[in-house]
Amino acid sequence: MKNNALIFNLLIITVLSFCMQFCTPVGQTTTSDGGGKMLQLVDRAYEPEIRTIKLHPAFDDPQANLLPAVTKLGQPNLVLQFDDLRSERDVYYARIIHCNYDWTRSMLQDLEFLTEFNEFPINNYDFSVDTHIPYVHYWLNIPQVKLPGNYVVVIYRGSNKDDIILSRRFMVYDTRVSFAGEQNLIGAGSIAKLNQQINFTIGYGSQDIINPLETVNVTIRQNQRWDNIANNIKPSFVREIEKQLEYRFFDDTKMFKGGNEFRFFDLRSLASPGRNVDFVKNTVRPFQVTLVKDKTRQHEAYSQYLDLNGGFINDNYDYRDASFSNYAEVTFRLGSPKINGDVYVTGAFNYWNLTSENKMQYDSVQKLYTSTFLLKQGWYDYQYYVKSKSLPPYALEGSHFETENQYEIFVYYRSLRPSADLLIGYLSLQKNDR
């Protein structure tokens, strides 16, 4: 009897442990025993030595890294690149995580969205040559997946999946719906001065959708940003006979702020620095670069010029070989009275994250906000973001409906088999394209 009771207790403990694995909210983070790291399903570097992370279409064109990390199902053409600021090569592996539309981890097993074992060695690398800071440049062609949807590629060291060095999001879509848009871009009245409105209709004639109000989720992204993404957008009208979902956004809360064209600087050459670079101190290694002092644009009229919509391109005019590209300490300066809130430097180069690294410090004597980053040679877009209870994020930049922006529309369908959010439609469009 005692043996039977012992076996029964062990069985209960095993069942409870198994259930707790599925009750844990793994959608946002996964704990680690490797250095206290926590996996977050976002774009992030987990070590300060991991720099210049890019995931983009693998086209033979320098402009390709400005394109979003989105590919069509059956066309695996995405490449991940990053630098490790260490002189010796390390052993890295990648794994893929499937996510729901809201970037929480799905319940799918690996073999439901992959055709092979979920561990991919990173065998492609180059050593830097005669650079101020030695580094190793790695790249990986993202493996093909079987289902359309949201994914995160996680890079870890050696055989320890908890020793994470970076995570990066990408999307794979299938064309099962059609889009029809309208030319109306802005709202009416005073809100038209700040906002951009997108009206569109989704046709799902080739896709059997049950209860679209509950099973279809639409996400809109501006300039590949994650900090102001619009999730879980529901249709204004459902026409089941025509199999159409109409999206019309009339109020301010359902519009995107147009923002302003991005600020930029040209650091493709350290010997002859380009626009918006004030001076370079070349007596130290790495070089120290100070940008031209910026000022607030809140009350300035809209000024049209071509930007990269917040992106960056690594390039080296000093040596045409990318292996010679240097890192430099770049200091941003913003002349402004102290505002009621925190100021951040944001752009694709820091993954649009608001962290202590890109939070600016205020000098009350000089009335100056400053922040310093270690950046690789190239052309960079950036903006100043305000985090405040009383001020809008664009308080230092201004917002105009005339601003040129890139928008992406993602259409997710919650299927029964497999039980996952499938990305069944994708549209990329330019507003005020010139």
Q: Are 231 and 217 in contact (CB under 8 A)?
A: yes
Residue 18 lies in a domain: no
Q: How many CB atoms lie within 10 A of CB 70?
A: 19
Compute the radius of gyration of the chain from its Cα atoms. Answer: 24
What is the CATH number for 335? 2.60.40
**Rounded distance, CA 158 to CA 357, Å?**
27
Residue 184 lies in a domain: yes
317, 240, 329: which is closest to 284 by C-alpha? 329
In the numeric block, the tokens 């923002």 are attached to: 259
Q: How many CB atoms lie within 10 A of CB 333?
A: 19
**Rounded distance, CA 156 to CA 47, Å?**
11
**Rounded distance, CA 42 to CA 45, Å?**
10
Q: How many CB atoms lie within 10 A of CB 131?
A: 20
In the numeric block, the tokens 């000022």 are attached to: 295
**Ordered DSSP codes for 255-274:** SEE---PPEEEE-S-SSS--
Residues 115 and 248 in one domain: no
Residues 281 and 352 in one domain: yes
Residues 250 and 274 in one domain: no
Residues 59 and 153 in one domain: yes
The predicted structure's pLDDT at residue 24: 34
Residues 145 and 40 in one domain: yes
Residues near 4 by Cβ (< 8 Å), separated by ≥ 6?
none
Residues 84 and 194 in one domain: no
- Total count of domains within the chain: 3
How confident is the model over 355-380, as pLDDT tens digits? 999 999 999 999 999 999 999 999 99
Residues 280 and 344 in one domain: yes
The predicted structure's pLDDT at residue 36: 67
Q: Domain boundary at 147, 173, 199, which?
A: 173
Residue 285 lies in a domain: yes
Q: Are 408 and 423 in contact (CB under 8 A)?
A: no
Residues 71 and 96 in one domain: yes
The predicted structure's pLDDT at residue 35: 53
73, 7, 24: which is closest to 423 by C-alpha? 73
Q: Are 270 and 280 in contact (CB under 8 A)?
A: yes
Residues 244 and 370 in one domain: no
The predicted structure's pLDDT at residue 253: 66
Residue 14 lies in a domain: no
Pairing, β 149-157 against β 294-295: unpaired
pTM over 0.85: yes
Per-residue pLDDT of the chain (434 residues), as tens digits, is 444 444 444 444 443 443 333 333 333 334 343 456 899 999 999 999 999 999 999 987 878 889 999 999 998 899 999 999 999 999 999 999 999 999 999 999 999 999 999 999 999 999 999 999 999 999 999 999 999 999 999 999 998 999 999 999 999 999 999 998 765 444 444 455 678 888 899 999 988 888 999 999 999 999 999 988 888 888 989 999 999 999 987 666 667 899 999 999 999 999 999 999 999 999 999 999 999 999 999 989 999 888 999 999 999 999 989 999 999 999 999 999 999 999 999 999 999 999 999 999 999 999 999 999 999 999 999 999 999 999 999 999 999 989 999 999 999 999 888 989 999 999 998 877 76
Residues 210 and 76 in one domain: no
Residues near 398 by Cβ (< 8 Å), separated by ≥ 6?
260, 297, 298, 299, 300, 302
Pairing, β 288-291 against β 327-335: parallel
Residue 366 lies in a domain: yes
Q: Are 46 and 124 in contact (CB under 8 A)?
A: no
The predicted structure's pLDDT at residue 59: 85
Residue 23 lies in a domain: no
**Rounded distance, CA 350 to CA 384, Å?**
13
Q: How many CB atoms lie within 10 A of CB 273?
A: 21
Residues 108 and 210 in one domain: no
Residues 240 and 308 in one domain: no
Q: Which domain holds residue 106?
A: 29-173
Residue 17 lies in a domain: no
Residue 374 lies in a domain: yes
**Rounded distance, CA 195 to CA 203, Å?**
26
Residue type, 128: S
341, 425, 417, 328: which is closest to 384 by C-alpha? 341
Token readout for 393 is: 């994020």
197 class by beta-carbon count within 10 Å (0-12 exposed, 13-18 middle, 19+ buried) = buried
